[in-house]
Amino acid sequence: MSELLVQVVGSLVVIVALLTGMAYMTWFERRVISRLQVRIGPNRVGPTGLAQPIADALKLFFKEDVQPSMADRFLYPLAPGISLVAALAAFAVIPVGPMLTIGGQSINLIIQDLPVAVLYLVGISSIGVYGVVLGGWSSGSKYSLLGALRGSAQVVSYELVLGLALVGVVLVSGTMSVAQIVDEQSHFGPLVILQPLGFLLYFIAAIAETNRAPFDLPEAEQELVAGYHTEYSGFRFALYYIAEYVNVLTVSAIAATLFFGGWLAPFGLLNGPWWLLIKMAFFAFVFVWLRATLPRLRYDQLMRLGWGLLLPLALLNVLVTAVLVVALSTNG
Amino acid sequence: MLDGVRNLALGFWTVLRHAGQPATTVPYPEVKRDLPAAFRGRHRLYRHADGLERCIGCELCAGACPSSAIYVQAADNDQAHPVSTGERYAEVYEINMIRCIFCGFCEEACPVDAIRLGPEYELADFERGSFVYTKDMLLDPEKFAPARQYHADVDEKDPELRREIPVDEDLGEVYRQHRPLG
């Protein structure tokens, strides 16, 4: 009973933290990208625009929820929810800190320490695609459909790379539990040292999975209006928006946890959740930096990069890692 | 391949480097950029130093206006109490600012330099009526312009306002002909 309570409370805390984090991720992105583009950025609502996310949320809450007459009655309202749930659910297996002891009871700072957590992460990220695909298809609009088509093709291509990049991590650490992977890293240092190529591949594929620039073809505003969420307005649009930014946070957290030791502190400093936050903030910055720097890929370039370069590299990475792991473990 | 990576890194560095620069944009309503001297904003009618209006009611500005925004109705000057330096003066002088395209042709057409386009550009308002500028508004915007459309700080920057225009400034043949009173 008390374990269930801890899990429920933990989930609520994580969800609230993610939603708050997402709100300030939008603020962070807009401020940072305006610095990179030599602008000032939002500075009207609150000091340095800090209340801007609240104003945005209020605006989206009070907007009309328009449903196109050609839209699918059942799937159209459902699709944004799928996106958001998938985005939030991925965080369940990410440990945010070391074991905590309160009043004689030890609390694991992870919602559910799944033994197949890595598999779960890959699976959840594929479910998130349904939000994009169904949203685009059920809108009954050509732009939405084209966006959804691109989204599905892109995710199918890059999911392979994403999965294979994580296979390297699993091979090296010998476990699929994220908590244990972090544990391994406390002994041998961050996995990025052993898996630099794996990390690079993971990060590129993760950007494509989150539909962020330069892989934002599914919502390319110059050609597809807004891609799969063209027809969405009001709070359903906000759900997509939230999902995108929660995904950025989640992907940053996964990168930080699997490759950079999560809440483990570098150089023997004090361990704690703040290190996960610092690492996530760094990756969030990289996401914004990428968006400020790179132009969007053309569709054929996207496919060539995914299948022609990243997938062979990922396979090579798995092969070399597997051979080395076997060779070293039999010798040692 | 290696070249591509190098170029990529260069691009990322270029973007990052710009973050250190001061922003090129300004927080607009609080900070206003300095305008070039030749900026064509709201019109202003000018007077001579002795208080007489420069406008002689010739209607050349109205003729030059490509959007027919200017309406001038001239009347003869009372010789004892002249309004302008010419034989005639503008009894009614109106500019419809909704029609005006700020081309400055009126300024160029004016033989007596009576109308000039100033630096004021914040001319938004809520009612159509407040965009038809009468002669009073154009002569003394400080007093008569719609409150929303007059900003002392902008008008202060008009170099033309501080220039002392000599009464007998030679402005050409037409001007001399229209100074029988002087």
Average pLDDT per consecutive 10 residues, chain A (332 residues; last block may be shorter): 76 86 88 87 84 87 84 85 87 78 70 81 84 85 84 84 88 82 77 82 88 78 76 85 88 86 73 81 89 85 87 90 84 56
Cβ–Cβ gap A293/B11 under 8 Å: yes
A183: buried, middle or exposed (CB in 10 Å: 19+, 13-18, 0-12)? middle
Q: Which residues contact B13 (CB under 8 A, 6 or more apart)?
A: none
Alpha helix ranges (H) inside chain B = 2-18, 60-64, 105-109, 135-139, 141-144, 152-156, 159-162, 173-177
B26: closest chain A residue by CA: A40
Q: Which of A31, A34, A38 to mutate to test the interface with B (most CBs of B within 10 A)?
A: A38
Residues from chain B that touch A39, judged by Cβ atoms under 8 A, are: 23-25
The per-residue pLDDT for B181 is 46
More confident residue, B100 or A5: B100
Contact with chain B for residue A47, Cβ under 8 A: no
B19 CA to chain A: closest CA distance, Å? 4
Reduced 3-state DSSP string for chain A: CHHHHHHHHHHHHHHHHHHHHHHHHHHHHHHHHHHHCCCCCCCCCCHHHCCHHHHHHHHHHCCCCCCCCCCCCCHHHHHHHHHHHHHHHHHHHCCCCCCEEECCEEECCCCCCCCCHHHHHHHHHHHHHHHHHHHHHHCCCHHHHHHHHHHHHHHHHHHHHHHHHHHHHHHHHCCCCHHHHHHHHHHHCCHHHCCHHHHHHHHHHHHHHCCCCCCCHHHCHHHHCCHHHCCCCHHHHHHHHHHHHHHHHHHHHHHHHHHHCCCCCHHHCCCCHHHHHHHHHHHHHHHHHHHHHCCCCCHHHHHHHHHHHHHHHHHHHHHHHHHHHHHHHHHC
The two three-digit tokens of residue B166, written as one number: 């000599």
Residues from chain B that touch A37, judged by Cβ atoms under 8 A, are: 18
The two three-digit tokens of residue A14, written as one number: 């994580």
A31 CA to chain B: closest CA distance, Å? 11
Q: In Å, how far are A196, A273, A321, B10 from B14, measured between CA atoms?
A: 24, 33, 35, 6
Q: Is the pLDDT of residue B176 over 70?
A: no
The whole domain housing B96 covers: 35-177
Position B112 confidence tier, pLDDT thresholds 50, 70, 90: confident
Closest by CA to A150, choosing from A268, A302, A39, A286, is: A302
Cis peptide before A77 (omega within 30 of 0): no
Residues from chain B that touch A289, judged by Cβ atoms under 8 A, are: 12, 15-16
What's the rounded Cα separation, in Å, for the pair B93 and B61?
A: 11
The per-residue pLDDT for B172 is 52
**Domain contains B137:** yes
Q: Is the pLDDT of residue B169 over 60?
A: no
> pTM for the complete prediction?
0.76
The two three-digit tokens of residue B180, written as one number: 């029988």
Q: Which residues contact B156 (CB under 8 A, 6 or more apart)?
A: none
Q: Is the pLDDT of residue B182 over 50?
A: no
Cβ–Cβ gap B23/A289 under 8 Å: no
Contact with chain A for residue B38, Cβ under 8 A: no
**Domain contains B28:** no
**Domain contains B182:** no
What's the rounded Cα separation, in Å, for the pair A147 and B27?
A: 36
Cβ–Cβ gap A34/B23 under 8 Å: yes
Cβ–Cβ gap B16/A289 under 8 Å: yes
**Domain contains B63:** yes
User: Which stretch of DSSP H or E encloses residue B94?
Assistant: strand B88-96
Domain ranges of chain A: 2-39+82-331
Q: How many CB pairs under 8 A join A and B?
A: 31
Residues from chain B that touch A36, judged by Cβ atoms under 8 A, are: 15-16, 18-19
The per-residue pLDDT for B163 is 64
Confirm if A173 and A191 have CB atoms less than 8 A apart: yes
Contact with chain B for residue A48, Cβ under 8 A: no
Contact with chain B for residue A100, Cβ under 8 A: no
**Domain contains B83:** yes
Closest by CA to A199, choosing from A211, A188, A212, A190, is: A190
Confirm if B75 and B57 have CB atoms less than 8 A apart: yes
Residues from chain B that touch A40, judged by Cβ atoms under 8 A, are: 23, 25-27
Confirm if A87 and A250 have CB atoms less than 8 A apart: yes
More confident residue, A318 or B178: A318
**Domain contains B9:** no
Confirm if A68 and A140 have CB atoms less than 8 A apart: yes
Cβ–Cβ gap A289/B15 under 8 Å: yes
* Exposure class string for B150-178: b at 16+ Cβ within 10 A, else e: bbeebbebbeeeeeeeeeeeebeeebeeb
Written as one letter, the residue type at A30 is R
Instruction: Say which CATH number the domain at B144 has.
Output: 3.30.70.3270
**Domain contains B14:** no
Residues from chain B that touch A38, judged by Cβ atoms under 8 A, are: 18, 21-25
The per-residue pLDDT for B39 is 82
Contact with chain B for residue A304, Cβ under 8 A: no
The per-residue pLDDT for A312 is 92
> Which of A32, A38, A289 faces B23 most closely, judged by CB atoms?
A38
What's the rounded Cα separation, in Å, for the pair B5 and B10?
A: 9
Cβ–Cβ gap A39/B15 under 8 Å: no
Q: Pairing relation of β-strands A100-102 and A105-107?
A: antiparallel
Confirm if A131 and A83 have CB atoms less than 8 A apart: yes
Torsion angle (degrees, nearest 10) of CA A22, A24, A30, A31: -150
B12: closest chain A residue by CA: A293
Contact with chain A for residue B25, Cβ under 8 A: yes
Confirm if B17 and A294 have CB atoms less than 8 A apart: no
The per-residue pLDDT for A45 is 85
**Domain contains B3:** no
